[in-house]
Structure 1
Amino acid sequence: MTSSTIHRVTTLDLAVRPIAWPFAEERRAEIAAHFAEKQRERPKIWNGRILLGRDAVFTDGHLAGTYFETDFASFLAWRDWGFPDPAVFNGFGMGALRASDGAFLMGEMAHHTVNGGRIYFPSGTPDLDDVRDGVLDIPGSVVREIEEETGLIPADYAAEAEWHCVVTGQAIAMMQILNLDMPGEAARTRIEANLADQAEPELSAIHLVRGMDDLTPTMPRFVTAFIAQQFASR
């Protein structure tokens, strides 16, 4: 199992620059064939533009890095083929929803999504909508993903200032705890009602995590590492 390292930071400095990615350019035909196969399995996925990172540096409560634009097909091939370019990382924001009774809320991805069946906090691979004045706005990305996936808006939660950056292999999950002023079951009921109103929701179910016994193999390592740390500190 891939181990995880957790860095706690208060500032994110993530510049977006035009960088050519040799992997995507040199293996274009293979990447296209791989994506076509994935689309046959899940016809709803599309080859949009996304952002990946490189040169991540953690120093004194600070994370710096550089992001570049590429297509989703190249990202998917890079991920599925075991990260052949180790200089690149997938860095994304996650809103760790925590209810007033201490339960964390996670969503199960719907089957039509590329990560169907996986369970984790609301999140998404950064894209061009998350760029502000040449900088990747991870806090804004978290707000957007939370609203899109759950219907919750910033007035519904209090965001903590600290980021828990969980580094697992080539992934950096930048997690921000969002404290809800309602217990877990009430929060789940509210989110499920929102999902029922959506024509094609990204989430198929909401799971409450109250302790280590609630973790499952369908949760990524960066999620279980974060949860383990949180419950160990209580």
Structure 2
Amino acid sequence: MRYGAACVEWDKLMNECRENTVYRATKVDVRIVDGPLDYAVQHREAIAENWRQDIQKHPSLFNGELYLAPEARFENGVFEAGFIRDSYATLMYWRKDPAPVRPWHIFGIGVIVSSDNVLIAARMAGSTAAASRIYFPAGSIDDHDVNEGRVDYDYNMQREVKEETGLDLRDAHAEKGYALVTGNRSVALFKRHYFNQTGAELIAQIRQVLSMQDEPELDDVIAISAAGMMGDATPTYVRAFADWHFGHK
């Protein structure tokens, strides 16, 4: 890794966070730092071969920009990281890499919460790389989400939720701060957005939007109304957040 002793010390702080455990973050500061990403350089040939195989399975995949962080830390409620710009192909290889130490993938999740305390999850469409997996609508950081050298996670959440569901998170009441959960070198930054509509009303609205999209990213939307409802089709860190939510309203 590029950042020597400082990076090792930051990693030590992150590793003190128990995986699949919710922590409250009062501040998030993810800045863009100069590349290249050493991980991508070291695995260049394997990344290219993996991407060739992936696009054979999913021809609609697009190798756009993607950010990964060689360094990250969480201390006293403050999360900080340095992002390096790379490509989606690197992330696709990174997802399959079993190495315990590799860059951090850091993303925001704008959680839709209905007036009757239903969380709106979604099943990914078959054309996506995560087909049939169940998540809360969200997406990785790209260039649109960078403002003056730092990541605007609130904007990223608004953009992704709008694109996938048609809902505007600005119409909801957003909680302060974030719920931070780690899992397998991912850092998920959850922020709940409370809507005035019921779960049934929101789901009907989203399904109407999906019906008008030529190639929707989502196959369907799902109401999560209690702990334990999100099963093996959902990443462990997402399940951990959902279960925590119903115990910490």
TM-score normalised to structure 2 length: 0.89
Report the count of equivalent residues: 232
Give 1 or 2: higher strand fraction. 1
Contact 1:105 1:209 survives alignment (8 Å): yes
Tell me by how many angstroms 1:213 deviates: 4.3
Cα separation, 2, equivalents of 1:121 and 1:183: 17
Number of the residue aligned with 2:40? 24
Q: Is the CA contact 1:92–1:172 (under 8 Å) kept in the aligned structure 2?
A: yes
**Of 75, 78, 99, the match for 1:59:** 75
Q: Does 1:141 align with 2:159?
A: no
Distance 1:226 1:21 in 2: 30
Match 2:97 to one of 49, 60, 81: 81
Secondary structure of 1:149's counterpart equals: helix
Tell me, in whole angstroms, the C-alpha distance in 2 between the residues paired with 1:3 and 1:14: 20
Note if 1:105 corresponds to 2:90: no
Q: Is the 8 A contact 2:158 2:170 kept in 1?
A: no
Q: Which amino acid aligns with 2:108?
A: G
What amino acid is aligned across from residue 212 of structure 2 in structure 1? D
- Counterpart of 2:54 in structure 1 is 38
Give the Å deviation of 1:60: 2.2
Tell me the SS of whatever aligns to 1:173. strand
Q: Which runs of 5+ in 2 are unaligned?
A: 1-17
SS at 1:88 equivalent: coil
Q: Residue 223 of structure 2 aligns with which residue?
A: 208
1:85 and 1:215 map into 2 onto residues whose CA distance is 25
CA distance in 2, matches of 1:154, 1:43: 31
Q: 1:27: Cα distance to partner?
A: 2.3
- Offset of 1:61 from its aligned partner? 2.1
Matched, 1:125 2:140: yes
Shift of 1:62: 1.4
The equivalent of 2:200 in structure 1 is 185
TM-score scaled by length of structure 1 = 0.94
Structure 1's unaligned 5+ residue stretches are none
Aligned to 1:230: 245
How far, CA to CA, are the matches of 1:113 and 1:16 in structure 2?
27
Aligned 8 A contact 2:39 2:102 in 1: no
Q: 1:173 Cα deviation (Å)?
A: 0.5
CA contact (8 A) 1:4 1:169 kept: no
* 1:50 and 2:66 correspond: yes
Secondary structure of 2:220's match? strand
For 1:142-157, list aligned pairs within 5 A.
Answer: 142-157=157-172
User: What is the Cα deviation at residue 85 of structure 1?
Assistant: 7.1
